[in-house]
Amino acid sequence: MSRAARLLHLLERLRAHRRPLPGAQLAAQAGISLRTLYRDIATLREQGARIEGDPGVGYVLRPGFTLPPLMFSEEELEALVLGARWVASQSADPALAQAAQGVVNRIGSTLPETLRLAVETSGLFVPPRADPYPSAPWLPALRQAVRAEHAVWLDYLDEAGRTTRRRVWPFALAFFDQARLVAAWCELRQDFRHFRADRVRDLADTGERYPERRHLLIRRWSVQMGHARHMDAADRS
């Protein structure tokens, strides 16, 4: 393993833990001596990594350090480019598709010639869809509301063809093959609900932050969905 790759793996191991990791453990995992580990830690600190700790205490990486793009491996770059190409070609959200294409262009512009050529000619492509996605013009506004944790007013067409108006707290978007679903807390139903983006008839961002943080809503929703799946499996048994 090259030294650059070893430094990258050391950063990834530190990034995966919130508590200090003993130097001996880090050295053993990397197959290097403690002296070499201490030199690697010093090198990373010189490059701007906020690594706190000392020998005998352990080391922890504080938030705020961003890996430069050239430190991704060739396989990681292929995965990033392939994912961005999928979003650019498969998304019904033009703004998100444009952003994905921007990612592909930026990765290509920052790589050295040999690595850029290897990624661009990797042979990994995403074919265009034969059947277009249902129109979902509200996706950009919904993404922004999720990001800002804003409550929104929805005019929504249900399966029976009725349009209802309700205030919801959108906290997640799911990109399925045939639909885009919004997970939200519905103030009308006082429960979690899922809405198809292509059935939204009108949307107005209130500009007001909903009272519960997004990560807490996701946690409660995940628990409820897990319980519902468990009950459904029990009913079928």
Same domain? For 232 and 145 the reply is yes
Say how many domains are in the chain. 3
Same domain? For 155 and 206 the reply is yes
Burial 111-138 (b: 16+ CB within 10 A, else e): beeebeeebeeeeeeeeeeeeebeebeb
130 within domain boundaries = no
pLDDT level of residue 46 (50, 70, 90 thresholds): confident
Same domain? For 85 and 162 the reply is no
pLDDT at residue 234, rounded to an integer: 44
Same domain? For 56 and 98 the reply is no
Percent share of the chain, pLDDT over 70: 84
Same domain? For 151 and 211 the reply is yes
Same domain? For 74 and 57 the reply is no
Q: What is the domain-level CATH number for residue 15?
A: 1.10.10.10
pLDDT at residue 237, rounded to an integer: 43
134 within domain boundaries = no
154 within domain boundaries = yes
Domain holding 157, by residue range, is 139-236
Q: Whole-prediction pTM value?
A: 0.63
Same domain? For 48 and 75 the reply is no
pLDDT digits (tens, 9 = 90+) for 182-221: 999 999 999 999 999 889 999 999 999 999 999 999 999 9
129 within domain boundaries = no
